[in-house]
A and B are shown apart, each in its own frame.
Chain A
């Protein structure tokens, strides 16, 4: 799998191919200016909300709700300091978010690597049915899944616990991890393991020492995407978590009250939630296409 950004530069651009007559050339210049303008507009549309959130988080309370939006202001860290020192401290929310997201990502990736390898190499008849089960479970509407989970977790005493939240996140991360790891293992020729076995490796050794190291990128991508999915969840957490397990997105929505919203602190939480996931996501961007299309499209 080659990076999309690199491969697509081989895509020939029209103006390079044929020398065009003068009239067409100036027409193309206009088209080019139009394209640059459109590109600029797209980037502005994409980036402004994020930048505005980031700026909001370092504005004083007067600046953040100024009637005329302020681009220039004296930056302050008061919102972040307030979040971690006030009456409703953000630290427990942050800890819950990290434990729930990392916990489900690690369990999903480990079980996904094992199951995905088996799914990729097995030749059993029910493989298609099994694949369909994984995909439909991954894609099952959260609203439909959360109802029975709420009932089951209430019976099992898992409401408002972090293990409960991790299990809820596994309901979508586990099928995702198995499925996508199997797609990554599909990209590694089984002949390598075959020759390792001829050389005396056991099945397990062929998997552990040959196949697994070759799919390190796949493992990292799977773990990162699972982390992002779980970290960004709101719909499960709003039903299953309570005071002992609430996560950051819940903390953010709790700032919206009848009496008003502290937008400075809210944009600060937003920044804390969004920034790490952007960094993680950009780090694995080469494999994002495979990951997010469940392996249906590779970056080649």
Chain B
């Protein structure tokens, strides 16, 4: 997401080439790419520049939009705000918890599914369903399920002795929003891992089992090493999505109780659209963007590193 990359490609498309035919071919491709690239430029590079400018400004909305130069004011405020750093720590904890559980659970379910000989298709469809649900709806249904007076899951918890308001208690609220995310996105890891498992060469497994390798050693030494790349793809895709989506928390706890679930994007929304401190919010936005770009860089390197898609 930077201007240099766009401009770097432009001279090439218009550059005259020695062979007339190949020159025409490049301009044809350029013409096909142009509408998308131009529109995307408006929707990605202009916002990026705006975001950077905003982060150095005081943004006034009343009586027409005005940007007033504020120097490093927003930056120093953000970088020295202990609440924001606490949100980052919480975000890290939330990422590690959701991604960790989703990866382990997803891989385990995929291994289990790969052993199913008959009815694997329908089973897979059932397991995939949560992925298509709108996260905001997942959050709302989560609230319905955990409501202390009539929630189904709250009722189960009461039967086993936990009778507090699940979303009202800092620890259980954090666990609840984590599990909602796990519910929705583990299927994605299952889907990707299963594709990886089915690409493992069956003859290698056959040979290993003839050599007397048991299931566990086969998994540990043959299957897992051969799907590392695919698991890495799953992890990177999920981590980028984890930075993107926060709807579940917004509609369930909105960061509460006592900031126990206030991850960074929620703080950005609060700063930007409740206190209309858009300059400060822009700093938080840029911090998040840097994180995504680092992950995206790793992802692209993984894709192109081996000269082919894994």
Contact = CB atoms under 8 A, between A and B. Distances in A.
A121 B29 contact: yes
Contacts of A234: 134-136, 247, 250-251
Interface residues of A, number: 119
A109 B245 CA distance: 23
B132 interface: yes
Contact of A282 (B28, B125, B133, B292): B125
A4 interface: yes
A148 B198 contact: no
Interface string B96-128: 000000000000010011111100110111111
B65 A35 contact: no
Given A118-B29, A141-B285, A296-B310, A288 B191 contact: yes
A13 interface: yes
B120 A9 contact: yes
Interface stretch (A87-95, A213-221, A263-271): A263-271
B141 A17 contact: no
Contacts of A118: 28-33
A160 to B, nearest CB: 14
Interface in A168-224: 170-171, 174-175, 178, 183, 203-204, 207
B286 A144 contact: yes
**Interface of A: prevailing SS:** helix
A18 interface: yes
Interface residues of B, number: 128
B36 A47 contact: no
Nearest to A53: B141
A99 interface: no
B130 A46 contact: yes
A154 B246 contact: no
B148 to A, nearest CB: 10
Given A11-B198, A207-B32, A274-B132, 15 more contacts: A8-B114, A46-B127, A49-B183, A114-B32, A118-B33, A128-B304, A140-B44, A144-B268, A147-B278, A147-B282, A150-B278, A270-B141, A274-B137, A292-B237, A296-B237
Interface of B: 1-2, 5-6, 8-9, 12-13, 24-26, 28-33, 35-37, 39-40, 43-44, 46-48, 50-51, 54, 59, 61, 65, 109, 112-117, 120-121, 123-138, 140-145, 149-152, 155, 183, 187-188, 191-192, 194-200, 202, 205-206, 209-210, 215, 218, 230, 233-234, 237, 240-241, 243-247, 250-251, 264-265, 268-269, 272-273, 278, 281-282, 284-286, 288-289, 291-293, 295-297, 299-300, 302-304, 309-310
Interface of A: 3-14, 17-18, 35, 38-39, 42-43, 45-50, 52-53, 56, 64-69, 111-112, 114-115, 117-119, 121-122, 124-137, 139-145, 147-152, 154-155, 167, 170-171, 174-175, 178, 183, 203-204, 207, 228, 231-235, 238-239, 249, 252-253, 256, 261, 263, 266-267, 269-270, 273-274, 277-278, 280-282, 285, 288-289, 292-300
The 7 A-B residue pairs with the shortest CB-CB distance, nearest first, are A8-B198, A144-B285, A126-B9, A115-B36, A148-B50, A232-B134, A234-B136
